[in-house]
Structure 1
Amino acid sequence: MITSPDNDNNRDEPMVFIVIAKAYETEGGQPIDLHVMLTAPDDDTAVRLTLNALSEEGFLEADLDQIGMITGAPDEEPHASAYQGALEGEVAIIRFA
């Protein structure tokens, strides 16, 4: 009897997602470009955690443009630090002004 599925989707390391978004601090205000990096078991959870984190940071609204997985640690800042923070359980928000 097989007790665990033999599947290529099993990962030893956590899944680190990057969400590319535009968020608004004021109603009708200018959008702020953001990258959000976090770990989550699936993309639905990543979206929910992203929206919760943006709300906690005071954003009123957000348009999530793209979501993807990061397969390796970025070399350049600020993404390298955000990646490390995500591995430590943080939801890292990178603002582009």
Structure 2
Amino acid sequence: MIAIPGYTSDGERMIFLITGKVYHEWNGEAEIHVLIAAPDEDTAVRNTLNALANEGYSEADLDQIGLLTEIPDEEPHASAYQTAMEGEVAIVKLNQA
């Protein structure tokens, strides 16, 4: 079997979970989880920062990145996982200060 960048050995897309905090000029600070399909960590982080900038966040402090090994079964992460599988960046706001 040939390894394809961005896909697991089972042929599934690699979905990364990135956690951190973002700051929006009008809405303040919020804790976020971002689910994103990417071929590697560097691309995941770069595309996450671009998506956050497009959403109007002026600053981002990303804390951790990991590869999801199981499909989340609870909302809002289950829907976010499906969004990421479809090739979009899923931003989940957990709380807002």
Cα shift readout 1:19-40 (whole Å, capped 9, x = no counterpart): 001000029x842100000100
Superposed structure 1 runs of 4+ greater than 3 Å apart: none
Partner of 2:38: 40
TM-score, with length taken from structure 2: 0.85
- 1:72 maps to which of 70, 73, 76: 70
- Please say which structure displays the higher CA radius of gyration: 1
Partner of 1:23: 22
Runs of at least 5 residues in structure 2 that lack an aligned partner in the other structure: none
Identity %: 54
CA 10–73 in structure 1, closer or farther in 2 if over 3 Å, else same: closer
Query: What SS does the aligned partner of 1:44 have?
Result: helix
CA RMSD of aligned residues (A): 2.0
TM-score, with length taken from structure 1: 0.85
One-letter code of the match for 2:65? Answer: I
The structure whose residues are more often strand, as a share, is: 2
Runs of at least 5 residues in structure 1 that lack an aligned partner in the other structure: none
